[in-house]
């Protein structure tokens, strides 16, 4: 390994991709968002995860984002880039491009749409891990890509790929998380998504998990960072529980439309760079937008973060 691998814990925020009014990638807006997270206790960023609309970005745009933001984040905040493409070789090429341009790591999902069998998923993930020296995180999201990463596959990868550092689970299955925790014996960090439909944050932390790979941190980074800390004492456990129920209406608002539709709308309402999702993703309807405004006012987010 060329440098010590970064191992995510706490609040790992899946960042939106901001667009300009004419629909172009807003690189200056991206930098504003990055600085916002640096100032507000986010542990690390995931750029071009599912929240970043990667399937609507051209390969040239994805490379431009990596080329500009990898160096920009260096010395400020650890950054991982989603690099999964339709083939193993294309994914390897983009992962190597991320490594060359200052990424701390990359995040991989099972290739979408093709629904490969489990052994093919293992071979795909291992090939990418083996092709780079930087950290690799897995993102298990069967709701979006059909294929579930079986715990046995994750355990095997953790044994054979020394640069595999994290597993983000987006499944409503405590048994799966327990199997990953038990089988990997601390070799990788276990994090969960913040979807209130799954409600997996407290079970994950209770089992010794390491935090959240979340969406709500786009709009309330300090609160999500505090809630997401791994538990080392009973006071932390109590505080996480309190914050979870306190922040539940905010998480529900962020997930009130398919991700990232609601997330971008809330970021936009806060006055931060966001723009609108690219078609075919629609904007939120007026009724939902009004409900989001009410939640922002309820949590006094603009005043808390000095936003106009």
Handedness of CA 235, 236, 238, 239 (dihedral sign): positive
Q: Give the separation between CA 302 and CA 235, rounded to whole angstroms.
A: 29
Give the residue ranges of the annotated binding site: 51, 213
Active site residue 168: yes
Q: What does the pLDDT look like over 153-201, one tens digit per residue?
A: 999 999 999 999 999 999 999 999 999 999 999 899 999 999 999 999 9
Q: What does the pLDDT look like over 90-149, one tens digit per residue?
A: 999 999 999 999 999 999 999 988 999 999 999 999 999 999 999 999 999 999 999 999
The one catalytic residue in 139, 198, 244, 255 is: 139
Handedness of CA 94, 33, 280, 257 (dihedral sign): positive
| 10-246 under CATH 3.20.20.70, yes or no | yes
Q: Give the separation between CA 233 and CA 254, rounded to whole angstroms.
A: 30
pLDDT at 47 over 70: yes
Comparing 308 with 160, the larger pLDDT belongs to 160
The one catalytic residue in 30, 168, 244, 255 is: 168
Q: Give the separation between CA 17 and CA 127, rounded to whole angstroms.
A: 28
Measuring CA to CA, how many Å separate 268 from each of 261, 274, 295?
11, 5, 14
Q: What percent of the chain has pLDDT over 90?
A: 97
Determine the average pLDDT of the residues in 51-69: 97
Local confidence band at 3 (pLDDT 50, 70, 90 cut-offs): confident
pLDDT of 220 reads 98
pLDDT at 239 over 70: yes
pLDDT of 119 reads 97
Over the chain, what is the mean pLDDT?
A: 96
The burial of 239, by beta-carbon neighbours within 10 Å (0-12 exposed, 13-18 middle, 19 or more buried), is given as middle
Nearest Cα to Cα of residue 229 among 96, 42, 59, 31: 42
The burial of 289, by beta-carbon neighbours within 10 Å (0-12 exposed, 13-18 middle, 19 or more buried), is given as middle
pLDDT at 74 over 80: yes
pTM of this prediction exceeds 0.85:
yes
Q: CA angle, corner 98, sides to 83 and 275, nearest 5?
A: 65
Residue spans per domain, the chain = 10-246
Length of the chain: 308
pLDDT at 1 over 70: no
pLDDT at 51 over 50: yes
pLDDT of 2 reads 55
pLDDT at 214 over 80: yes
Q: Give the separation between CA 278 and CA 261, rounded to whole angstroms.
A: 10
Q: What percent of the chain has pLDDT over 70?
A: 99
Distance of alpha carbon 270 from the chain centroid:
20
pLDDT at 46 over 80: yes
Give the residue ranges of the annotated binding site for pyruvate: 51, 213
Active site residue 139: yes
């Amino acid at each position: 390994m060329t440098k010590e691998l970064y191992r995510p814990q706490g609040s790992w925020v899946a960042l939106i991709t901001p667009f300009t009014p004419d629909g172009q990638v807003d690189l200056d807006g991206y930098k504003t968002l990055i600085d916002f997270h640096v100032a507000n206790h986010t542990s690390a960023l995931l750029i071009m995860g599912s929240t970043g609309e990667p399937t609507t970005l051209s390969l040239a745009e994805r490379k431009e984002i990596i080329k500009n933001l990898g160096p920009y984040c260096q010395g400020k905040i650890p950054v991982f880039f989603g690099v999964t493409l339709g083939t193993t070789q294309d994914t390897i090429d983009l992962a190597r491009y991320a490594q060359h341009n200052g990424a701390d790591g990359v995040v991989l999902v099972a290739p979408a749409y093709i629904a490969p069998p489990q052994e093919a998923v293992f071979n795909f993930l291992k090939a990418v891990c083996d092709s780079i020296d930087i950290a690799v995180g897995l993102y298990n999201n069967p709701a979006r890509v059909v294929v579930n990463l079986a715990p046995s596959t994750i355990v095997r990868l953790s044994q054979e790929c020394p640069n595999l550092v994290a597993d983000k689970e987006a499944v409503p299955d405590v048994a799966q998380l327990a199997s990953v925790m038990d089988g990997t014996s601390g070799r990788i960090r276990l994090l969960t998504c913040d979807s209130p439909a799954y409600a997996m944050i407290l079970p994950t932390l209770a089992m010794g998990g390491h935090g959240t790979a979340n969406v709500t941190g786009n709009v309330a980074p300090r609160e999500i960072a505090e809630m997401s800390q791994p538990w080392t004492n009973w006071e932390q456990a109590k505080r996480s529980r309190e914050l979870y129920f306190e922040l539940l209406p905010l998480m529900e608002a962020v997930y009130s439309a398919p991700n990232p539709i609601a997330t971008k709308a809330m970021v936009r309402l806060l006055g931060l760079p966001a723009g609108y999702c690219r078609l075919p993703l629609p904007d939120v309807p007026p009724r939902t937008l009004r409900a989001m405004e009410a939640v922002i006012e309820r949590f006094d987010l603009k005043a808390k973060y000095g936003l106009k």
